[in-house]
Structure 1
Amino acid sequence: MTESLTLGVLGGMGPAATLDFLAKIQAYTPAKSDQDHIRVLVDINPKVPDRNTPGSLAGPVLAEMAGALRGAGADVLAIACNTAHAHADLIQRASGLPLIDMIETGATAARETGAMRAGVLGTKGALRLYREYLAAQAMGLVTLDPERQEAFMALLYRIKAGERGPAVTREMKAFADALVKMGAETIIAGCTEVPLVMGQEDTRVELVDPGELLARRCVAVCLGWETVPAAFDE
């Protein structure tokens, strides 16, 4: 097998979601031996300040992680967290490396479903990013009302704390159902914790998992099947 690019992953936000992302990379790599897999350098750093807290200074920490991944040999980056993409420009400037963008990947996949309105289950920061990217696809964004959004955030933190049972799945499904009732024609799992508890069988419309699609793209880029994204241009 020809030499592949080395992937650098900024992770730990949260750790379980990062491990799920890495498992997907392994699963989607066509390999007959250890040597056929791509090399992955990952910083699972749960000490990154909460991306949902204004002024948390997550950006500089993520930028430092990205620079270290380049120093370790990474050729291209991925971020295993939707909300952290708010710092994508800073991460690319600090590392000088191209980034395979999870938000862009999810928005493009939503458009390819044929939907005109996408419901997003994500943090407020992720919703802002998806609003912009979906608008570029001429799509509308459907979000939870403020009360349900707060309840959704509380559920996310419970998942981060280790809850994975049927009750959690039912609650997440209820949020997805609410978005469909409000006109969403597809649902984007806009937080990497969402797919840990909810799958396609739990939604009435197509479920887009940006983390899964990002894993596929990372494999494709590193194996040379897809063009490497352009590096950050000042």
Structure 2
Amino acid sequence: MSRIGVFGGMGPAATVDFMDKLVTLTPARRDQDHLPVVVASLPHVHDRSRSILGVGKDPLPQLLEGIDFLNGAGVGVIAIPCNSSHHWYAQMSERSKVPILHIAKACVAAIPKEAAGKVAVLATRGALASGFYQAALDERRIPHGVPDAATQPFVDDCIRQIKAGEMKDGGASLGKALAVVKEQGATAVIMGCTEIPIAAKYTDTLGLHLMDSSLELARAAVNYALERKWHRPGWDA
């Protein structure tokens, strides 16, 4: 029996939100219909965004330790509900014995044609500097933009506030960012940090089409497991 491996803790609330989505997306009517999951919540991984920007410690050794742990637990696929960590996707994939789902590719692939006018990418400064969302959008030839210097602080505040458990404040900060990008012509928004979908529950989304990276990663994980019938291990019910 194979299992979904979840490398979480970056941050803990985002991991809980991801797990809720994983369970909700699974077509189950009883406990035994659900998918087996191993969760490694490792919150002490160094700040990914600060490292990408060159002002923080390198988290790669800790990321690889998390990959090793899940591989040792017998998982068949790994999902990492932390966008900025995907800056090191190639190194983690090289280390892993099993496939690692790519959060940005899963999210961008799910953008419907009617919402692909101009996409604003809201994410940590590190994820934006890394550019993996921009690259995924370029592959699909979807026009896109990132927050300007006056708007990114709203996104920074939103992420920080959600990590601190300040949900309403996080929603208010996100609302300010959404108002600006809509005024600048965005028709859709990628919530490219897994704290942002939590904040979206506490604000007016102004009619924008919000793409939830956490939700699309969960959907990709569920589909991967269901296709391989991991919810049917052959045991007597």
Distance 1:51 1:220, change over 3 A: same
Query: What pairs with 1:39-188 in structure 2 (closer than 5 Å)?
Result: 39-54=36-51, 55=54, 56-110=57-111, 112-127=113-128, 128-165=131-168, 167-188=169-190
> 1:155 deviation in Å?
2.7
Which residue in the other structure is 1:215 paired with?
A: 218
Q: Percent identity?
A: 33
Which residue in the other structure is 1:38 paired with?
A: 35
List runs of 5+ in structure 1 lacking aligned partners.
227-234
> 1:53 deviation in Å?
1.1
Given the two structures, how large is their TM-score scaled by the length of structure 2?
0.87
Stretches of 4+ moved more than 6 A in 1? none
Q: Distance in 1 between matches of 2:114 and 2:87?
A: 25
Which residue in the other structure is 2:22 paired with?
A: 25
Count, aligned residues: 222
> 1:114 deviation in Å?
4.1
> 1:113 deviation in Å?
3.8
Question: Are the aligned partners of 1:113 and 1:206 in contact in 2 as well (CA < 8 Å)?
Answer: no
Q: State the Cα RMSD in Å.
A: 1.9
Q: Distance in 2 between matches of 1:34 and 1:110?
A: 32
Counterpart of 1:94 in structure 2: which amino acid? R
> 1:9 deviation in Å?
0.9
Distance 1:14 1:178, change over 3 A: same
Given the two structures, how large is their TM-score scaled by the length of structure 1?
0.88
Question: Are the aligned partners of 2:49 and 2:127 in contact in 1 as well (CA < 8 Å)?
Answer: no
Question: Are the aligned partners of 1:8 and 1:76 in contact in 2 as well (CA < 8 Å)?
Answer: yes
Could you list the per-position Cα deviations for residues 23-75 of structure 1 after superposition, in whole angstroms to 9, with x for gaps in the alignment? 11111111122121111111101100000112521122111111110111111
**Which deviates more, 100-109 or 6-15?**
100-109
Question: Are the aligned partners of 1:48 and 1:62 in contact in 2 as well (CA < 8 Å)?
Answer: yes
Counterpart of 1:184 in structure 2: which amino acid? A
Q: Distance in 1 between matches of 2:17 and 2:96?
A: 25
List runs of 5+ in structure 2 lacking aligned partners.
230-237
Question: Are the aligned partners of 1:121 and 1:190 in contact in 2 as well (CA < 8 Å)?
Answer: yes
Q: Distance in 1 between matches of 2:146 and 2:16?
A: 28
Question: Are the aligned partners of 1:113 and 1:186 in contact in 2 as well (CA < 8 Å)?
Answer: no
Q: Distance in 2 between matches of 1:202 and 1:20?
A: 19
> 1:185 deviation in Å?
1.5
Question: Are the aligned partners of 2:175 and 2:204 in contact in 1 as well (CA < 8 Å)?
Answer: no
Counterpart of 2:173 in structure 1: which amino acid? E
Q: Distance in 2 between matches of 1:106 and 1:68?
A: 26
Counterpart of 1:118 in structure 2: which amino acid? V
Counterpart of 2:29 in structure 1: which amino acid? K
